[in-house]
Structure 1
Amino acid sequence: MQNKTLAVVDFDNTLFDWVHVWYSCFNAMMQEVELITGLSVEDLADEIRPVHQEHGTSEYAFLLEALPSLKPFLGEKAASEVFSKAIRAFRSTRKKELRLYPTVADTLLRIKGAGSRIAIYTESQSFYSFYRLKRLGLDGVVDRIYTPPDHEVPEDFIANGGRHYSRNFYHLRHTEHHHTPVGELKPNPHLLSQILTDFDVAKSEAVYIGDSRQKDVAMATDAGVDYAWAAYGEAQDTHKYELLKLVTHWTDDDVQRENEIRSRKVNADIILEKEMSQIFEHYKFAEYQQ
């Protein structure tokens, strides 16, 4: 086995179950919204999708303020006041359900302990990725995180005391942050190659770990980088995924692009079937030389 000095990993559904966390939090919030307004998520879906599409994420934190059908319930009050129970349901569920997959923490610490470097490359925006990185205890374990730029924050959010946590919580203390170019998405082998260039690491010294064959494995293959397919995190077509599709931020163009990506047949030779720690059956990690 070759020594690796850099592990580049996907975040969502590779380090934690993003689909489960998203569904649990969103569903808990919308159930409370229905109790307050009598409007179900199905009633509001046609308004939710355009908002998510406008901001490029199905995690838009200011969704309730933006839905036309909810504005009559606000009056002169802020959404954080009228829908406080819904927001608390979201946050309490997130705190309960957000956790790393089994063996992920030990695997990352073992890689780090060998002196190797770790980078996360995700398509989730930085505002949401930073929260998860800190809450999961990975600020400092991960050396760098690469994310797309954030959507804009409503002008009156901070002015009205909208922050739930202290200002410092919204910033990373130890992990470096790099933005990926606007509009650049996986599978983009040039972006992966750029990450290796940033670390000044040869392709032979890096390994990429991700849950999607069509995006992660294909990207690493095209970039000439060794990979491990995190099959344990592959999203399944469950009722959770059905809700996601109902309110998705994907546009028709996004769906077409995704279908084109999925049409490519990708074989994965290195498979982490059960858990992330299986990476050590295929690769060894050594000290990174800057």
Structure 2
Amino acid sequence: MILLADIDNTLYDWPSFFAPSFRAMIHALAREMKVSEDQLYDEAKSVFAERGSLEYAYWIQELESAKGLETEKLRRIVEAGRGAFKSVQSRRLVAYPGVVKTLEWLSEQDVMIVGITNSSVYRAQHRLYDLKIDCFLDGLVAWEGFEPSVNDPANLGFTRSGRTRRRSRIEVERVLALTEQSCKPNEEHYLRALRLFDCSADQAWAIGDSKAKDLEPAARLGIKTIWARYGSSFNPSDRDMATLLRITPWSSSKIQSTYNKKDFEADFTIDAFEQLKSIIPQKYPTLF
């Protein structure tokens, strides 16, 4: 058997880590650049809209306020911003309750676990490592990520040629990078994972927080689906969600539609990751 597991908002809470980390970064940048935080939020939103991702790694260099800054000054600003982000991330990036123990149980049951994510290979590997759960995964299928031009003045001194952004310490052995067009909700994401491990759809389970993005494409292939309802909550008035809405080009209605797809019903619904133990068949029954 194989479990095809979404990562963000399924294994850990992405908004509760990313939003406060981003706020800390904006605060540091405003201090270093002598620019208001409101202006930086607006400029960041423009960059993210153009690049199509809130996790574009080189957005600071592409801020309107950063244009014309000499390289060494910009480097110090980038380091200050990233340092602030990482400081908060080290405290906020944690797995959901029960995830580690359940992944351990799945491994003991000889269930192969493959991460399926639209995050970049670099980001996904980095976070799996920091979450200390990479040792439980047999593979990872992720977006190939951005490849910024080394000739772009905004990236001068910040990038190197070639796909160098890989996490060498990751324990996942089989990693597959896909183009953006092949990622979820394209079922190709799941097809490639099944082929990578030579598994058929009837041997597979897919778990994710988004019915539209994670589960519907898996269901089209005949994969059994599990909705991680605990990761799908959407409250625009929540501080972290408000931060994300402030910088994303997506509207709140579009975000909500990816979770509450009313015309799709998953095979199973869970409110905690550890409830997988009552769904995935046990190969080796235990006393406790």
When the two structures are superposed, what TM-score results if normalisation uses the length of structure 2? Answer: 0.82
- Among 268, 277, 280, the alignment partner of 2:274 is 277
List gaps (5 residues or longer) in structure 2.
none
Asked if residue 47 in structure 1 is aligned to residue 38 in structure 2, the reply is: no
Counterpart Cα distance in 2 of 1:160 and 1:284: 52
Offset at residue 271 of structure 1 (A)? 1.2
Of all paired residues, the percent bearing the same amino acid is 25
Residues 212-221 or 114-123, more deviating: 212-221
Q: Indicate if the aligned counterparts of 1:230 and 1:276 stay in contact, CA closer than 8 A.
A: yes
In the TM superposition, what is the alpha-carbon distance from 1:235 to its structure 2 partner? 4.0
The answer (yes or no) to whether the contact 2:116–2:189 under 8 Å persists in 1 is: no
Task: Please state if 1:170 is matched with 2:167.
Answer: yes
Deviation at 1:286, TM superposition (A): 3.9
> CA distance change for structure 1 residues 125 and 161 in 2, over 3 Å: closer, same or farther?
closer
- Matches for 1:140-289 after TM superposition, within 5 Å: 140-153=135-148, 155=150, 160=157, 170-171=167-168, 172-237=170-235, 238-248=238-248, 265-273=263-271, 275-286=272-283
- Cα drift, residue 141 of structure 1: 1.6
Q: 1:67 aligns with which of 63, 68, 87?
A: 63
Change in Cα spacing, 1:20 to 1:193, as seen in structure 2 (3 Å) is same
Structure 1: gaps (5+ residues): none
CA deviation vs aligned residue, 1:125-169 (integer Å, no higher than 9, x gap): 112111101111233321111111111246399995889xxx997
| AA of the residue aligned to 1:187 | P
Cα pair 2:3 2:205 within 8 Å, conserved: yes
Is the contact between residue 208 and residue 228 of structure 1 (CA under 8 Å) also seen in structure 2?
A: yes
CA contact (8 A) 1:29 1:90 kept: yes
1:174 CA drift (Å): 3.6
Q: Give the equivalent residue in structure 2 for 1:132.
A: 127
**Change over 3 Å in CA distance of 1:161–1:46 after alignment to 2:** closer
Distance 2:214 2:258 in 1: 15
Q: Which residue of 1 aligns with 2:54?
A: 58
**CA–CA distance in structure 2, aligned partners of residues 208 and 260 of structure 1:** 16
The residue number in structure 1 matching 2:27 is 31
TM-fit CA distance, 1:240 = 1.9
The amino acid of 1:282's aligned partner reads: I
8 Å contact 1:210–1:230 — kept in the other structure?
yes
**C-alpha distance in structure 2 between counterparts of 1:168 and 1:149, whole Å:** 10
Distance 1:203 1:174, change over 3 A: closer
* 1:30-49 per-position Cα deviation (integer Å, ceiling 9, x unaligned): 01222333433431334223
- In the alignment of these two chains, the number of paired residues is 275
The residue type paired with residue 11 of structure 1 is I
- 1:9-28 matches, cutoff 5 A: 9-28=5-24
Amino acid aligned to 1:176: R
Q: What is the identity, as a one-letter code, of the residue corresponding to 1:241?
A: M
Letter in 2 for 1:155: V
Change (3 A) 1:22 1:154: farther
- In structure 2, how many angstroms separate the alpha carbons of the residues matched to 1:209 and 1:82? 39
For the residue of structure 2 that corresponds to 1:53, the secondary structure is helix
Q: Is the 8 A contact 1:30 1:40 kept in 2?
A: no
State the TM-score, normalizing by the size of structure 1.
0.82
CA 1:140 to 1:153, structure 2 compared with 1: closer, same or farther past 3 Å? Answer: farther
Distance 2:80 2:165 in 1: 25
For 2:73 and 2:248, locate their aligned partners in 1 and report how far apart those are by CA, in whole Å.
Answer: 25
Query: Does residue 98 of structure 2 align to residue 103 of structure 1?
Result: yes
Work out whether residues 8 and 14 of structure 2, in 8 Å CA contact, stay in contact via their aligned partners in 1: yes
**Cα gap change, 1:189/1:57 in structure 2, threshold over 3 Å: closer, same or farther?**
same
Contact map agreement 1:25 1:89 (CA 8 A) in 2: yes
Residues 91, 190 of structure 1: alpha-carbon distance in 2 compared, 3 angstrom cutoff: closer
Report the Cα offset of residue 199 of structure 1. 1.6
Q: C-alpha distance in 2, partners of 1:54/1:102?
A: 36
- Paired with 1:263 and 1:270, the residues of 2 have a C-alpha distance of 15
